[in-house]
């Protein structure tokens, strides 16, 4: 089973995330800034699926499979605003860049990878 990372985004855009089991990360950002949502794997093995989600949303924040992002399953609020930090995902880095954050981005973010 894949390990989950969790990130919280608060107004004044505080981001608190679980980078590794039990480790929390906190990042502050102002509206309009870009933030990195950290998600790392302990292995260099290629990922077949990467999904960033928020529990209150039906669709994904970011969905990546077959070496491409899938906007068809992405919440429209995130279209064009989320991309892989490292498209090659070297060293197991499955972090994403969330661009132009706003108050509606406040919440808990989950990273699931396989």
CATH of the domain at 56: 2.60.40.10
| 75-106 pLDDT tens trace | 999 999 999 999 888 888 889 999 999 888 88
3-class secondary structure for 36-65?
EECCECCCCCCCCEEEEECCCCCCECEEEE
The pTM is what? 0.77
Of 40, 37, 39, give the one whose Cα is nearest residue 15.
37
Instruction: Give how many domains the chain has, as a whole number.
Output: 1
Specify the pLDDT at position 105: 86
| 18-59 pLDDT tens trace | 444 444 566 678 889 999 988 887 766 777 889 999 888 999
Give the residue ranges of DSSP H helices in 2-113. none
Domain that holds residue 35: 5-113
| 4-13 pLDDT tens trace | 566 655 544 4
């Amino acid at each position: 089973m894949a390990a989950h990372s969790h990130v919280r985004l608060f107004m004044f855009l505080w981001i608190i995330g679980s980078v590794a089991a039990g480790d929390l990360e906190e990042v502050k950002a102002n509206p309009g800034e870009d933030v990195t949502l950290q998600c790392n794997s302990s292995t260099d093995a290629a990922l077949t699926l990467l999904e960033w989600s928020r529990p209150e949303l039906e669709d994904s924040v970011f969905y990546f499979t077959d070496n491409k992002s899938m906007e068809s399953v992405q919440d429209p609020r995130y279209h064009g605003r989320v991309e892989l930090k490292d498209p090659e995902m070297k060293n197991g880095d499955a972090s994403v860049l969330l661009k132009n954050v706003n108050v509606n981005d406040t919440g808990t973010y989950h990273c699931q990878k396989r």
